[in-house]
């Protein structure tokens, strides 16, 4: 902690995750200070210097680890294949860690990191920010209120139209690098389904690689059977010229259907930050529809709150409170993803 009472944060990576999500959310949290960023890109180093002039820039992870005793937290927002190594090094240095989703490429690596963190009594959490999406919070409130009745089917989608692959590990990298949409956007869908409806006992999946030059899946469907009886159908695609509803939830009393994405990612990309007027709020025309046709009505969206994740991290650093995301949840998500990959390869239902 520095002389002003702020926790000093080191950020590995300044690509999409680091620049658009972690850095602005860290700076928006009054008890955190973005002390250093690690990037080997001169262009990204200039971007850091321009937006965060007080922040040091290091070209290598080694340079940051040389200052380990000056840091209170590190955030790993590098390509997925490097998550396990950087997290292990930070834990060994005794530094609390936030790891961007999907935690690690394999459940075995995730399990080892959790064990390492527990052995060293060092806090570890995973950035599953979509738990604080507007639509997720709205649906949580509807479930708690009982307005939907007993839910029997949950449909959830992250669909985009990117017909030309990008020259990045997300498109070009194979499953060994945790590339493809199942590990990327799919990790959000799986995490949300587990949060809303509990554990699952079986998984069926269909994965396809459609666009030329792509190293992993770019169009995937998952069917999860939750132990409580709910069926979750999850779609993730980068080749959806028309998108389906973000959520469609069928209950015994009513249904809830919601189109469109939470506004926080777009706002962060535009340079806005939590605390600004209207943060996380959706316009009325973006609200979901609740009821039984033809008697449906718009249901107000609860404002999204990405800032709650790092507020929870501060509580963990200050008082030892439970982290905002239990890494065991992220481990379970990886086990589901691995079962989905086995299912897609064999055409069978996999038990997890």
pTM: 0.95
Domain positions in the chain are 7-129, 134-307+336-351
pLDDT (tens place) for every residue of the chain, 352 residues total: 777 889 999 999 999 999 999 999 999 999 999 999 999 999 999 999 999 999 999 999 999 999 999 999 999 999 999 999 999 999 999 999 999 999 999 999 999 999 999 999 999 999 999 999 999 999 999 999 999 999 999 999 999 999 998 877 777 767 777 889 999 999 999 999 999 999 999 999 999 999 998 888 999 999 999 999 999 999 999 999 999 999 999 999 999 999 999 999 999 999 999 999 999 999 999 999 999 999 999 999 999 999 999 999 999 999 999 999 999 999 999 999 999 999 999 999 999 9
User: Are 113 and 91 contacting, i.e. CB atoms less than 8 angstroms apart?
Assistant: yes
Q: Which CATH class is domain 134-307+336-351?
A: alpha beta
User: Are 87 and 97 contacting, i.e. CB atoms less than 8 angstroms apart?
Assistant: yes
Q: How far apart are CA 214 and CA 192, in angstroms?
A: 26
The CATH code belonging to domain 7-129 is 3.40.50.720
Beta bridge partners of 232: 154, 224
SS (H, E, C) 268-313: HHCCCCCCCCCCCCCCHHHCEEEEECCEEEEECCCCCCCHHHHHHH
């Amino acid at each position: 902690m520095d002389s002003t009472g702020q926790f000093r944060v080191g950020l590995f990576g300044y690509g999409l995750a680091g620049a658009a999500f972690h850095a602005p959310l860290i700076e928006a949290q009054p008890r955190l200070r973005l002390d250093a960023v690690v990037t080997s890109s001169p262009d990204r180093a200039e971007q850091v210097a321009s937006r965060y002039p007080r922040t040091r820039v290091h070209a290598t992870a080694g340079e940051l680890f040389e200052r380990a005793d000056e840091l209170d937290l590190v955030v790993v927002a590098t390509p997925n294949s490097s998550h396990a190594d950087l997290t292990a090094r930070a834990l060994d240095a005794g530094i609390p860690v936030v790891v961007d989703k999907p935690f690690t490429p394999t459940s075995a690596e995730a399990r080892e990191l959790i064990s390492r963190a527990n052995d060293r009594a060092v806090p570890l959490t995973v950035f599953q920010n979509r738990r604080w999406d507007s639509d997720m919070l709205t649906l949580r409130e509807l479930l708690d209120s009982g307005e939907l009745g007993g839910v029997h089917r949950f449909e959830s989608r992250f669909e985009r139209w990117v017909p030309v692959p990008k020259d990045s590990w997300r498109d070009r990298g194979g499953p060994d690098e945790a590339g493809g949409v199942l590990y990327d956007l799919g990790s959000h869908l799986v995490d949300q389904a587990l949060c809303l409806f509990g554990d699952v006992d079986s998984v069926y999946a269909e994965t396809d690689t459609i666009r030329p030059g792509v190293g992993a899946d770019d169009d995937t469907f998952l069917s999860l059977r939750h132990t409580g009886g709910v069926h979750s159908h999850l779609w993730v695609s980068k080749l959806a010229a028309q998108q389906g509803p973000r959520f469609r939830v069928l209950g015994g009393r009513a249904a809830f259907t919601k189109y469109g994405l939470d506004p926080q990612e777009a706002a962060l990309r535009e340079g806005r930050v939590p605390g600004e007027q209207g943060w996380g709020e959706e316009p009325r025309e973006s609200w979901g529809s609740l009821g039984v046709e033809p008697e449906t009505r718009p249901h107000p969206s609860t404002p999204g709150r990405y800032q709650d994740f790092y507020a929870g991290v501060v509580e963990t650093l200050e008082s030892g409170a439970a982290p905002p995301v239990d890494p065991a949840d992220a481990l379970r998500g990886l086990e589901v993803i691995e079962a989905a990959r086995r299912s897609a390869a064999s055409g069978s239902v996999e038990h997890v």
